[in-house]
Amino acid sequence: MSAVPRPAPSCTPDVPPFDLARIRSDFPILGIEVNGKPLAYLDNAASAQMPTPVIDRIVSYQRREHANIHRAVHYLSETATAAYEGARAKVQGFLNAKEEREIIYTSGTTEAINLVMYGYGRKFLGDGDEIIVSQLEHHSNIVPWQMLCGEKGCRLRVIPCDDRGVLDLDAYEKLFNERTRFVAITHVSNALGTVNPVRAMIAAAHARGVPVLVDGAQAAPHIAVDVQELDCDFYCFSAHKLCGPTGMGALYGKAAMLEKMAPFKGGGDMILSVTFEKTTYAPLPAKFEAGTPHIAGAVALGATLDYLARVGMHDIAAWEHSLLEYATRQFETLEGVRIIGTAPEKAAVLSFEVKGVHPHDVGTILNEEGVAVRTGHHCAQPVMQRFRVPATVRASFAFYNTMAEVDQLVAGIRRVQQMFA
């Protein structure tokens, strides 16, 4: 497995590299109608839909395998523990982490970033230290670091991007100085789709001894990730963007980093021994998993990764790229539509504005046509400020989308333009 982002395979197949009809039949929700029209679900960057094998796995877990984990000797507790820990091995495989204990379950990307901020940032950063983030971050990779700045007197430095939404790597290099202590960057921009060259960016930080967290929320669903090849110190993702459950995600951290960090939450399961004088923390990964976790979520995440592996991450990337290219070409035939985010390396995200029409009106009318898109600032207000728009409309594709759904989107936009003409 290789980690160089593979969003732009040289071949962009016109026909899906898999049996698309069969894949779609795995997703019962794709069959619903909205306002009497077939649903075209193009809001996958916000949350992707769940296939039947994953739904079934949640049900079978609850029906036959559930108990609390790590705590009892009875049959069900052991079954549940095996399912929970078995899923961890799948996450390890998915990210190609060296060790299973480097995978910490979290409620999602947001919690993973906060865990690193609390466990690493609060322990190792202090007054005057600098943290580098990019202009393209989701709020969840800005606000925790700002909180740290407020508490410790650190300073946030921002890597700018150009008019295409491509990060300025020269500017990035220049941001480093003797006070730089941490880099937190997104692998793929949720608002624009830009795929950042994180591998080179990590190498640049490491050359200066600075650790790097990569927000993989938008990359993990579309790119075969290899954390060893990237050499990132931390990587995080959310299960729900991968067709898995909400409230579930994972943090990968290099064992040496996780070991020197402070725990995030105190409670049961994260200790070796407790007396009122002293508590000794459990080894990884339990040190970071206080309390009864989302066991069913972890089990479902495991089933999700199995499902994606069966479809194939490379085929997923290839088909999504075809959808993006087709949609981009169609959009270029639409007058008065501006695509925001035109980086050469993009995941299947199309942010745009329709001239003279507010994104919320576009979204409401597209909904009428059965097309689900996201409108707003996409929790990335600095991106909106950079491109001087209050909001955008965003269509984001998953491997189960079809060219016909792109046509449905384009027809919907034409209808918007007619109404507002």
Partner 1 sequence: MDSKQLYQEVILDHNRKPRNWGRLERASHHAEGLNPLCGDHIWVSLELDGDRVSNVAFEGQSCAICKASASMMTANIKGKSVGEVEQLIREFRDMATGKLDVARQSNHLGRLSVFAGVKDLPSRVKCAILPWHTLHAAFAQQESASTEGDQDPFAASTARGRSA
Ligand X SMILES: Cc1ncc(COP(=O)(O)O)c(C=O)c1O
- Active-site annotation, residues: 379
- 3-class SS of residue 37: strand
Look at the block and give the residue holding tokens 């070409």: 329
Give the separation between CA 15 and CA 12, rounded to whole angstroms: 9
CB neighbourhood size of 59 (10 A)? 12
Pick 174 or 414: Cβ nearer partner 1:
414
Nearest to partner 1 of 236, 416 (CB atom) = 416
Assign residue 222 a region: left if phi > 0, alpha if psi is -120 to 50, beta otherwise? alpha
379 makes contact with partner 1 (CB under 8 A): no
Strands 40-41 and 371-372 turn out to be parallel
Listed in sequence order, the residues at least 6 apart from 199 whose beta carbon sits closer than 8 Å to its beta carbon are 3, 4, 229, 230, 231
DSSP 112: H
**Applying CB under 6 A, does 215 fall inside the site for ligand X?**
yes
The rounded distance, in Å, linking the Cα atoms of 343 and 193 is 8
| Min dist. Cβ of residue 109 to partner 1 (A) | 21
Q: Which of residues 238-257 bind ligand X (CB under 6 A)?
A: 238
**Chain-centre distance for alpha carbon 50:** 16
Matching residue, tokens 């990035």: 172
Binding mask 320-359 for partner 1 (x = CB under 8 A): -------------------------------------xxx
Return the residues of window 13-72 that contact partner 1 according to CB under 8 A.
35
DSSP state of 265: S
Rounded to a whole number of angstroms, the minimum distance from the CB of residue 192 to ligand X is 11
Q: Based on the shown chain and the rule CB under 6 A, indicate whether residue 43 belongs to the binding site for ligand X.
A: no
Of 78 and 361, nearer to partner 1 (C-beta) is 361
Long-range contacts of 418-421 (CB under 8 A, 24+ apart): 419/365, 420/354, 420/356, 420/357, 420/361
Instruction: Write the CA distances from 61 to 215, 258, 297, 298, integer angstroms.
Output: 30, 30, 10, 11
Among 124, 368, 403, 407, binds partner 1 (CB under 8 A): 368
CB of 186 to partner 1, least distance (A): 22
Of the pair 238, 304, the CB lying nearest ligand X is at 238
Distance CA 273, CA 291 (A): 15
From the CB of 160, what's the least distance to partner 1, in Å? 22
Q: From 168-176, 276-284, 289-297, 361-369, give the range in contact with partner 1 by CB under 8 A.
A: 361-369
Does 124 engage in binding with partner 1 (CB under 8 A)?
no
Residue span binding ligand X (CB under 6 A) among the ranges 86-94, 107-115, 158-166, 170-178: 107-115
Could you list the residues that contact partner 1 (CB under 8 A)? 35, 357-361, 364-365, 367-368, 375-377, 390-391, 419-420
Could you list the residues that contact ligand X (CB under 6 A)? 108-110, 138, 140-141, 186, 190, 215, 217-218, 238, 379
